[in-house]
Amino acid sequence: MQNFFVIGFQSCLRLFGAFWIFGGFLTLQAARESLFLDRAIEAIALKKQDKLLSYFLFLGSIFTLATGITLVLASRWVFLPLTLSIVSQIVYFSVQKRRFSRAKTEEEREDAQVQPTTINAFKTSCVVAIACALGWAVGAIK
C-alpha cells in the first residue's frame, strides 16, 4: 500500500511538473513580449522605461521552467530552482513595496502594485515546496 502511495504521489508531482514546464514557456514568452514593448516604448517616447517587471518575469520563467523539468524527473534538484523562485518572488515583493511607498503619482503607484496572479504564483510555489519536501520524505523524489 505504501508503494502505491509513493508511486501515485510521484506521478502527481510529475504531472504538476509538466504543467509547470508549459507555464514556464508561456511566462518566458510573456517576458520576451514585455521586454520588446519596453524597448519600443523607450524608442517612441525617448524616455527610459523601468524594465524591472520584465526582468523579474524573465527570471521567474526560467525558474518555473527549471522547476517543472526537475519535477518531471522527480529529482531532488527541484529544491534549487524552487527555492530560488520563492526567494526571487520575496525580493520582488519587497522591491515593489518600496516602489509603492516612494511613488509620487497615481500611475507610479499602479505600476508598483503586485498583481494578484503574482501573489497566487508565490502561494503555489510555497505549496509545491511543501509537497516536494513531503515527496522527498516518503521517497517519491530522489
Q: What is the pTM of this model?
A: 0.88
Per-residue cell: 25: 514557456
Tens digits of residue pLDDT in 63-98? 999 999 999 999 999 999 999 999 999 999 999 999
Domain span at residue 29 reads: 2-138
Residue 13: half-sphere exposure toward Cβ, Cα within 13 Å: 32
- Cα separation of 69 and 82, whole Å? 11
- Tens of pLDDT, residues 1-58: 678 889 999 999 999 999 999 999 999 999 999 889 888 888 888 777 778 888 999 9
Tally of domains in the chain: 1
Q: Measured between alpha carbons, how far is 87 from 26 in angstroms, rounded to an integer? A: 21
